[in-house]
Amino acid sequence: MFTLNEDERAIGETARQFADEFLAPNALEWDEQKHFPVDVLRKAGPLGLGGIYVREDVGGSGLRRLDAVRIFEQLATGCPAVAAYISIHNMAAWMIDAYGTEEQRRRWLPGLTSMELLGSYALTEPGVGSDAAALSTKAVRDGDDYILNGAKQFISGAGANDVYVLMVRTGDEGARGISALIVPADTPGLSVGPNERKMGWNAQPTRQVVLEDVRVPVANRLGAEGDGFRIAMNGLNGGRLNIAACSVGGAQAALDKAVPYLADRQAFGKPLNKNQALQFELADMRTGLEAARTLLWRAAAALDADAPDKVELCAMAKRFATDVGFEVANKALQLHGGYGYLHEYGLEKIVRDLRVHQILEGTNEIMRVVVARSVIGAA
């Protein structure tokens, strides 16, 4: 797991080259202008980034989750917000690949894997955050269609995307009454709210999705009625790892900015990197990132192997890596002093982008609940 072969190194290098060429030079401008770089996302498709762990017969790369977390770490060195959207797109594509019929796979996935179509995952609702099983968006059967009414909140890519994998209530209250549907973004009755004004993640849109008598064919359902919550949670296992990887990548970029800054900056007659207290900070930052990366790779390998402890390992990795990532980025800003607070240095953007990773794909408090349940159950 820890000694990369030639193919594994090439995969990471390809992602890093993409980040260096297309993401990093534009990240500050995209953040300031709140620009969603769809043209750049289209360039990611031919590199296999639109379906990293989707099967190859529909254009996917057929890679492992272990490969994916290494890819997302490298992408996030260029822009965590864009890397995170690519993660969400991949999560939606994987759900169709894993749970869709052959007809659904062949209809939707070639466009998604090429990133000619952009996908989004739609679970969260207004007033229903961590308690996702309490969602209320209804899908009422009407012949060969469902009629959808309700709203989804905090949907990444909404308004600029083409496809939603959307969780709806087709049955009774609770998790067993939830189903998953593929919903084209241009379906009549589907509308989106204004782009949210956010602390970070400004390079991707976040909007409410409103459903008013939206008619969707039953043929667009993934799996059977009542399978939706299980499908959504299985999608989140990988999504949590990818977001954790984006935190590691963003924080690594912040650390990489801090090291030369401390070497160049003089104070009290010597470079700042000669100050032992600051050396200790760098050592702790480096150690934290290495620990996060190690746990992340361990969890990804468990998900690849369908290990019995995969869920709690994904939760551990997500909680630990996103906490460490934010802490490291925040320390890097502090090490820059007042300059770290300036937009042009790029540190404050990384800090703002990484902060939300502790909230989305399941808050870090919920990650602790997941892990605690596994500990109590094993006791």
Domain residue ranges in the chain: 6-118, 120-224, 229-376
3-class DSSP state for residue 317? helix
Q: Of 56, 125, 361, 365, which one is the catalytic site residue?
A: 361
Q: Is 361 a catalytic residue?
A: yes
Q: How many CA atoms lie within 13 A of 24 on its CB side?
A: 19
Dihedrals phi, psi of 306, to nearest 5 degrees: 55, 45
Whole-structure pTM value: 0.96
Kindly report the CATH class assigned to 6-118.
mainly alpha
Pick one of 2.40.40.20, 3.90.330.10, 2.40.110.10, 3.30.360.10 as the CATH number of 120-224.
Answer: 2.40.110.10
Do 183 and 164 contact (CB within 8 A), yes or no? yes
Element (H, E) at 210: strand 206-217
Confidence label for 219 from pLDDT (cuts 50, 70 and 90): very high
The rounded radius of gyration (Å) of the Cα atoms in the chain is 21
What confidence tens digit (pLDDT) does each residue in 334-377 have?
999 999 999 999 999 999 999 999 999 999 999 999 999 999 98
pLDDT at 1 over 80: no
Amino acid (1-letter code) at residue 337:
G
Q: 229-376 belongs to which homologous superfamily?
A: Butyryl-CoA Dehydrogenase, subunit A, domain 3 (1.20.140.10)
pLDDT in tens, 22-38: 999 999 999 999 999 99
What stretch of H or E contains 190? Answer: strand 190-192
